[in-house]
Amino acid sequence: MLPLIRPDLADLAAYHVTALETTDVPDKLDANEVSLDLPDWFKLKLGALAEDQVLSNRYPDGEYTQLKQLLCQYVGHGITTAQITLGNGSDELIRSLLLVTCLHQGAILVAEPTFSMYGILAQTLGIPVVKIRRNETDFALDLAAAQNAMDQQHGGQNIKAVFLVHPNSPTGNLLQEKEKQWLHSLPPEVLVVIDEAYFEFSGKTMIPELADHPNWLVMRTFSKALRLAAYRVGYAVGHPDLIGALEKVRLPYNLPTMSYLAAMLAMMHRDELLTNIPEILSERERVYQGLQDIGLDVWHSAGNFIYARSGNHEQDQALLIALAKRGTIVRQTGGGLRITIGTPEENTRLLERFQYCV
Ligand SMILES: *Cc1c(COP(=O)(O)O)cnc(C)c1O
């Protein structure tokens, strides 16, 4: 590596994923996207906006006020625009949170298996990552291990941020009461991030608790239930001071104009975009049953995905490859397989292909 590059980046692999070939598209059930593309009427409206309203030679509106106002209505619970900031995907928000709380200040705590991006982004900033395990029956946090980690120093630093997904990815479990109690016990100098990327599927939110917890922040995304993964829009809801700090480190015009317009249009038509959620949820129960009948270990999920294990890592990997050869792509992560719930046809093919492979 060139001597000018930070040596601690040497062990880090680039995360980026190549898009699948557009011809002969397999069933892509590996990234928890919704399988249905946006309806034609939505695309036409967005195209018309691009034609009529976008000055391509001009920068976007840098404040994104209108979208924040629409989000306040959607989020509810009396949240105001001063409590919302926008990111180029929630990934950008994670990095901004690390910049305003942990950089040169402290470590982060994650409980595995969980979303890998918290640890990866912390590493790119030289922020220590403390990993604890979850209990293997219901994937709740090992609270003794969590408290022990909080009480210790890590490379001379205290933990300054705890990242949790609600429901967790890849395991699909919601936070239990005892886990929430532990979060309540954390001191005000520790940031608690509750990533609600799957909120529209779970219907469960911690937003009402923000009023009593200035150190808590809820993150959400347009990439999953709202079907805008191509546009990269995420948002964070929290105390105005914390949001103000995130605004300070936000890059100018971080949302391209088309992403901003797509997100606004999605908010205005959210009921129509979210109509297929009940079907995804009932399909999730069918897939759960099917995977169990095949003989896999399966866990109930509050998201649009299911976590399953065949028994060991090698067998999971063999299954993943055999499924991919037959045309269904799933994700191996956290010691198991994470399978996105697709269309009914995709789910039926998934179960058929699994039967051949097991
Ligand atoms: C998919 C996902 C996100 C979304 O990230 P974007 O950058 O907004 O696309 C965030 N958190 C978790 C846990 C996810 O699974």
Helix axes 40-53, 257-268, angle to 10 degrees: 130
**Ligand 1 atom, smallest distance to 32 CA:** 1
Q: Tokens 């901004």 identify what position? A: 96
Distance in angstroms (rounded) separating the CA atoms of residues 67 and 257:
11
Q: Residue with the nearest Cα to atom 12 of ligand 1?
A: 197
The answer to whether the peptide bond before residue 187 is cis (omega within 30 degrees of 0) is no
Query: Beta strand pairing status for 234-238 and 216-221?
Result: antiparallel
Cα atoms found within 13 Å of the Cα of residue 340, Cβ hemisphere only: 20
Contact between residue 289 and residue 354 where contact means Cβ atoms under 8 Å apart: no
- The set of protein residues with a Cβ atom below 6 angstroms from ligand 1 is 32, 89-91, 115, 165, 169, 195, 197, 221, 223-224, 234
Q: Residue with the nearest Cα to atom 2 of ligand 1?
A: 197
Residue of 112, 171, 195, 227 to test ligand 1 pocket, by largest number of atoms within 8 Å of CB:
195
Residue of 114, 166, 223 to test ligand 1 pocket, by largest number of atoms within 8 Å of CB:
223
Name the H helices within the chain.
40-53, 65-75, 90-101, 117-124, 143-151, 177-184, 199-202, 240-249, 257-268, 270-273, 277-294, 313-326, 344-357
- Cα of 323 to ligand 1 centre, how many Å? 24
pLDDT value, residue 20: 60
- Cα of 100 to ligand 1 centre, how many Å? 20
Number of H helices, E strands in the chain: 13, 13
pLDDT value, residue 230: 97
- Cα of 223 to ligand 1 centre, how many Å? 7
Provide the whole-model pTM. 0.96
pLDDT value, residue 24: 65
3-state secondary structure of 97: helix
pLDDT value, residue 322: 94
Q: Tokens 């005000």 identify what position? A: 188
**Ligand 1 atom, smallest distance to 224 CA:** 1
pLDDT value, residue 214: 98
pLDDT value, residue 172: 98
pLDDT in single tens digits along all 358 residues of the chain: 899 999 999 989 888 777 665 456 699 999 999 999 999 999 999 999 999 999 999 999 899 999 999 999 999 999 999 999 999 999 999 999 999 999 999 999 999 999 999 999 999 999 999 999 999 999 999 999 999 999 999 989 999 999 999 999 999 999 999 999 999 999 999 999 999 999 999 999 999 999 999 999 999 999 999 999 999 999 999 999 999 999 999 999 999 999 999 999 999 999 999 999 999 999 999 999 999 999 999 999 999 999 999 989 999 999 999 999 999 999 999 999 999 999 999 999 999 999 988 7
The structure tokens listed for 264 are 């606004």
- Cα of 98 to ligand 1 centre, how many Å? 16
- Cα of 311 to ligand 1 centre, how many Å? 28
**Ligand 1 atom, smallest distance to 88 CA:** 7
pLDDT value, residue 151: 98
Residue of 175, 193, 221, 228 to test ligand 1 pocket, by largest number of atoms within 8 Å of CB:
221
